[in-house]
Amino acid sequence: MALSEYDVGSLEQLFAAWGYPRGNTKKLLRRYYDSGGESIDGVQVARELKARVLDEMGLRSTRIINRQAAADGTVKLLVGVGDDVKSQKSNVKSGELGLSAYRLLSTAYSSSVECVLMPSYRSDRAAGCVSSQVGCAMGCDFCASTKAGVERSLTAGEMVEQFLWLRGEATRLGRRLQTIVFMGMGEPLMNYDNVMAAIRRMAGEDLGAIGWRHVTVSTVGIVPGIDRLTEEGLGMYLAVSLHAPDDDTRSAIVPTGKRYRVADILAAVRRYQAATGRIVTIEYTLLEGVNDSDAQARLLAELLEGGRMHVNLIPYNAIGPGVSGREYRRPSQERMDRFLEILRGRGIVAHFRRTRGADIDGACGQLRERVLT
């Protein structure tokens, strides 16, 4: 396994089995995380131990196979994961494999995920978005990530490596990766144990050290998973992709709506807020003629009234036909402004998500879909 798959405890056990002091573990891992996963040089441990780590484990199991940079500074990476990536491609350096070459190797690289670096309005900081699965099984009809279904869940180390790739990108841009959102490909709460293991390494003081309050987990509304997250008591932020205020509309565009009703999801959200004190974000992608009416805005406001939740309105980013074959459109700016006006008029804290990376297949799953077709 690559070094990314180890936390302090498991690496201590391995080093002890190799006959090395446990005290080597934290400083070696901290150097690894501080370097963005690129190096363990400069750590004061036995040369033989570092050589064995590099020879038998390696620093990474993933590689960047496509990189896009937007005019607004957003960077999107397509990361190859898993053993199915053929050895003859494994030596390709970051960014060297162009789109046409990638298409020729699409079978080998079918296991790939996206992660995104988004510069903050502060010139020295950035946020990162990581994926939790290869593809997605949730079937949301307006999302590119789910169009090919789910291949598998990512390991904790594969998620950590996305974090490290983004940390390295941020460093090269003169920024610090300050926050992480699990809002990329996949449903984090359907890969719960690995996601939590990855978060502990990213947020914990021993390794990534970004802090629990700088991590957000986004879910389509898996109620048992939200309750498990509540029991963790770690104080992370939660975002819920609601996308409609009524069950009929929601289940038509978000298939899990057939299993988890809006009322049940919001009840779980309130339990999370009560236990953690964290304000939950309600994600709502606006689709013309589907979920953007005045009546739906009023119903959403009624459901959220008194709940201290924030609504993040997302202008739809076109992906072509969805899973059902239907093509959706972004509402007019006037219609979106009206939806926002109704929410705010009812006392709901709401805003539009700032559109990022529109010129680089910015929506979740778009880059992967484009290079694989």
* Known catalytic residue at 115: no
pLDDT tens by residue, 50-68:
999 999 999 999 999 999 9
Q: What is the pLDDT of residue 361?
A: 53
Model's pTM, two decimal places? 0.88
Shortest CA distance to 204 belongs to which of 16, 3, 1, 26? 26
Measured CA to CA, the distance from residue 205 to residue 215 in angstroms comes to 14
Average pLDDT over residues 278-283: 97
In the predicted structure, residue 97 carries a pLDDT above the cut 50: no
Q: What is the pLDDT of residue 373?
A: 42
In sequence order, the 6+-apart residues with CB closer than 8 A to the CB of 155 are 5, 194
Asked if 371 contacts 103 with a C-beta cutoff of 8 angstroms, the reply is: yes
Q: What is the pLDDT of residue 323?
A: 87
* Known catalytic residue at 129: no
Active-site residue among 12, 169, 364, 369? 364
Nearest 10 degrees: Cα torsion 292, 363, 132, 304? -20
pLDDT band at 353 (very low <50, low <70, confident <90, very high): confident
Report residue 110 as tokens.
Answer: 């079918």
pLDDT tens by residue, 287-339:
999 999 999 999 999 999 988 899 999 999 999 999 889 999 999 999 999 99
Average pLDDT over residues 105-110: 45
In the predicted structure, residue 108 carries a pLDDT above the cut 70: no
pLDDT tens by residue, 213-259:
999 999 999 999 999 999 998 989 999 999 999 999 999 999 999 99
Cα–Cα distances in angstroms (integers) from residue 172 to residues 31, 115, 290, 314, in the given order:
17, 16, 42, 29
* More confident position, 194 or 359: 194
Active-site residue among 12, 114, 187, 369? 114
In the predicted structure, residue 372 carries a pLDDT above the cut 70: no
Average pLDDT over residues 99-120: 67
Average pLDDT over residues 80-85: 70
Report residue 63 CA to chain centroid gap.
17
